[in-house]
Structures are given as structure tokens and as C-alpha cells.
Structure 1
């Protein structure tokens, strides 16, 4: 989104927000000019992040993006390339690694590189890990001291250490979830059939089915599933912001509708209001979730958040 297009989109969103505020439901948090401008800017940022991934899929992707020994390694781009080459199981695994590690502002994708086997003769591919998740866990324990990469902001409480919630257990429970359904591709096909090919219903079913994956709560599941959609691995679309277990998005929703982040409005009521507003704006639940979370950190002045 560039220049004139971006300005027109911002103008349209502002107009729709004002219309919603006047005709459907008060938006007390954006009653001031400063707040509505800042919120619109966050919506634009979130839309551009989604749009960017779709654009990258259309470009040439270097094979070096798939090589953990290369500084160019990028698990998201690698997943796109793998998917385009028919290597879907590996693509899903790379999206999982990207989500579990997150992109750190300082070390970028280094941790994902290391977990994929940056210092190994051969990568820890999906086939290799799925065949022996315990061996992968042992390898992590033996080598974690040499890893220099850091977890991203959404995964800042994760750990490489052996333990009940360590990365070894996270990977093992992920492998068990997928293998219980045969494969990633089989899982998606089964869910799509159950959802009668409804993208939002399929998202909800996958979200619920991921409950057994250790340390993948609301944020982890939401990030993983929305990235599967953006990469093109699953025809799903977030049906909700999953407000019940949210922190930043819940504060953002309370501020947006009630004018205060500590209002007592229930998560169910907030979710219903967000759904109504999303239908009016037509931006998608992923954009709503991201924008509300970032906006509540600085509601009067736009601040870009990249963590």
C-alpha cells in the first residue's frame, strides 16, 4: 500500500469508524481526533503486514532462504518455497518453528536457524524430527548452550531448557498432534471437511484441536494458524480474536469501546462488539487483533511496533 492508496484507505477506515460510532455502537476510545488517527494508522500497519506476506509469495525466493547454514535463512520464506515445490509437510514444520521462536528484533531469525540445524551436517527436517522427537529433545539439551538466537516478543517466556514446558516438550507434543492425524496435509483436509470448507469454521476447529500442543496458548495458536493462511498452506481465516485469554487485544478492545483499558466488560461482550465492528470495517479478525493490541500501548500517538 503506497502513497495515494494508503491515504485513501486511511480516509475510508476513519469514515467507517465514525459511521459505526454514530449509527451502531459508541467507540469511546476514539472520540478524540488524536486517538482515531492513531487507531487508523495501526489498522493500516496491520493490513500492510498481511499484504506484505502475500506479495512475498509472488516473488522469486532464493533457495538460500531454506538453508539453516546461510545468513539468509528465513523460515517463513522457506515455507513459501517449500510449499510451492510441493514439500508441504516441511513447509508446515518451518511455520511452526517460525512461530515457536518468533522473529527477535536483535537476532532476527537466528534461533529458528539454530533449531533447524544451523550447526548440523543435515537439517532437523520434519521427517527427521517426526521419526524421533526424543532424539531432537536430547540434541537440544546437548547443544542449547551454543545457541545465540533469542525468542521473539510473542515468545519471550519460552525456554530451551529441558523441562515440562521446554522446547523439547513443545516439539514432541506438536509432533504427537500431527501424527495423530496422519500428517499436516491430512489434518487440514479432515478439518476442512468437518467445516464444510468454511474458512472461519475451519480456523476455529484447528484452534481447538491444537490444545494438546504444549506452550501454544491463545497467542501461539493464533499466530501459527494465521501464518498458515498467509503462506497459503491452509484455506482458513480467523473467526475470532479469542478475547477470553488475550491480554493486549482485550485491553485494546476495552479502551476502544469503553474508553478505559480496565473496564469490566466481559470478554464475551467484547468479542461480540469486535465481531460487529470487523464486519463493518471488513479488515479481518487478524488485523483487528493486531491493531487493537498495538494501539492500546500508545492510543494518542501512532507508534510502530515491530516486536
Structure 2
């Protein structure tokens, strides 16, 4: 989105929000004009983050993005390249790896590189780990002291340690979840078939099913499934912000509709309001979730948030 496009989009969003506020239901939180400007700024940022992934997909991707020994390794770009080359199961695995680790602002994708086998002769590909994830857990326990990478902000409470909610258990339960469906592609196909082709209902079915993966709560599942859609691996679309299990988006919704982050409006009512606003704006639930979460941190002054 270049300068003129961004300004036009900004004006459109401001007009759409005010129209909704006057004709559909009050948006008390954007009545102060500085709040409106700040919220629109967050919507623009969220739209650009989504659009960026589609732009990357359209560009040539270096094979070095797939190589964990390379500083250029990037699990999301690697997934795009693998998918384009017909290696879809590996692409799904790379998206999961990237989601589990997250991109750290300081060490970037280093942890994902290490977990994929940066110091190994053979990477921990899907074909390798699916045979026996316990081997991976043992390797991780033997190797983790040498890792220098850090988890990203959305995964900052994760651990590489054995047992409990450690990465070895996370990967094992992920493998079990996928294998229960036969493969990643079959899992997506089953969800779409069950949803009779409804991309949003299929998202909901997969979101609920993914509760079987250890340590993947609301944010992890939401991030993983929305990234599958952006990378082009699954024809699904977020049906909700799932704010009942969230903090930031719920505060943002309460502030937006009630004018205060600590109102007592329940999550179900908030979700229905957000759904109506999203339909009016046409931006997608991922954009709504991201923008509300970031906006409530600084509602009266636009601040860019990264990571």
C-alpha cells in the first residue's frame, strides 16, 4: 500500500466507521477524533501485515530460506516455496514451526532454525519427525543448551525444557493431531467437507480440533490457522476473534463499543458487535483482532507495534 493508496484507504475507513457509528450502533470509543485516527492507523497497519504475506508469495523465494544452516532461513517463506514445489506437508510443518517459535525482534528466526536442525546434518523435516517424535524430544533435550534463539512475543511463555508444556510435548501432540486425520491436507479437506465448503465454519472446526495440541491456546491456534490461509495452504477464513479466551482484543472491543476497557459487556455480545462491524468494513477478522488488540494499548495516540 503506497502513500496515496494508504491515504485513500484511511479516508474510506474513517467514513465507514462514522457511518456505522451513526446508522448501526454507537462506537463510543472513537468519538474523540484522536481515538478515531489512532484506531484507523491500527487497521491500516493490520491490513498491511496481511497484504505483505501475499506480496511475498508473489515474489521469487531463495532456496536459502529453507536451509536451517543459512542466516536467511525463514520458516514462512520456506513454507511458501515448499508449497509452490508441491511439498505441501513440509510446508504445513514449517508454518507450525514458525508459529510455535515466533519471530523474535532480537534473534529473529534463529530459534526456528535451531529447532529445524541448524546444527544437524539432516533437518528435522516432517517426514523425519512424523516417524517418531520421541526421537526429536530426546534430541532436543540433548541439544537445547546450545540454542541461542529466543521465542517471539506471542510465544514468550514457551519453554524448550522436557515435560509439561515443553516444546518436545508440543511437537509430539501436534504430530498426533495431524496423524489422526491422516495428513495435513486430509485434515483441511475433512474440515471443509464437514463445513460444506464454508471457509469460516471450517476455520472454527479446525480451531476447536487444535485444542489437542499442547500449549496452543487462543493466540497460537489463531496465528497458525490464519497463516495457513495467507500462505495458501488452506481455503479457510477466521470466523471470530475468539476474544472470550483473550485479553487484548476483549479490552479493545469494550473500549471501541462501550468507551471503557473494563465495561461488563460479555464476550458473546462483543463478538456479535465485532462481527457486524467487520462485515461493514470488509477487512477480515484477523485484521479486527490485531487492530483492536494494539489500539487499546494507546487509544488516543497512534503508535506502531511490531512483533
Which TM bucket (shorter chain)?
over 0.9
d(CA) in 1 for partners of 2:300, 2:149: 34
Alignment of 1:85-96 (within 5 A): 85-96=85-96
Aligned counterpart, 2:271: 271
Structure 1 stretches of 4+ moved >2 Å? none
TM-score between the two structures when normalised by the length of structure 2: 0.99
Aligned counterpart, 2:183: 183
TM-score between the two structures when normalised by the length of structure 1: 0.99
d(CA) in 2 for partners of 1:62, 1:211: 34
Deviation (angstroms), 1:198: 1.0
* 1:239-288, Cα deviation, whole Å (9 max, x unpaired): 00011101110111011111111110000010000000001100000000
d(CA) in 1 for partners of 2:248, 2:138: 35
Deviation (angstroms), 1:236: 0.3
Secondary structure in 1 matching 2:163: coil
Aligned counterpart, 2:129: 129
Deviation (angstroms), 1:211: 1.0
Secondary structure in 2 matching 1:131: coil
Aligned counterpart, 2:112: 112
Deviation (angstroms), 1:125: 0.2
Secondary structure in 2 matching 1:251: helix
d(CA) in 2 for partners of 1:256, 1:178: 38
Q: Cα RMSD between the aligned structures?
A: 0.5
Aligned counterpart, 2:58: 58
Q: Does 1:158 align with 2:158?
A: yes
Count of paired positions: 307
Gaps of 5+ in 2: none
Aligned counterpart, 2:15: 15
Deviates more, 1:266-275 or 1:192-201: 192-201
Aligned counterpart, 1:235: 235
Aligned counterpart, 2:28: 28
Q: Does 1:39 align with 2:39?
A: yes
d(CA) in 1 for partners of 2:11, 2:64: 41
d(CA) in 1 for partners of 2:220, 2:61: 26
* 1:219-238, Cα deviation, whole Å (9 max, x unpaired): 00000000000000000000
* 1:121-167, Cα deviation, whole Å (9 max, x unpaired): 01000011110100000111111111000000000000000121000
d(CA) in 1 for partners of 2:209, 2:216: 11
Deviation (angstroms), 1:91: 0.2
* 1:18-46, Cα deviation, whole Å (9 max, x unpaired): 11111111111111111000000000000
Q: Does 1:172 align with 2:177?
A: no
d(CA) in 1 for partners of 2:159, 2:122: 24
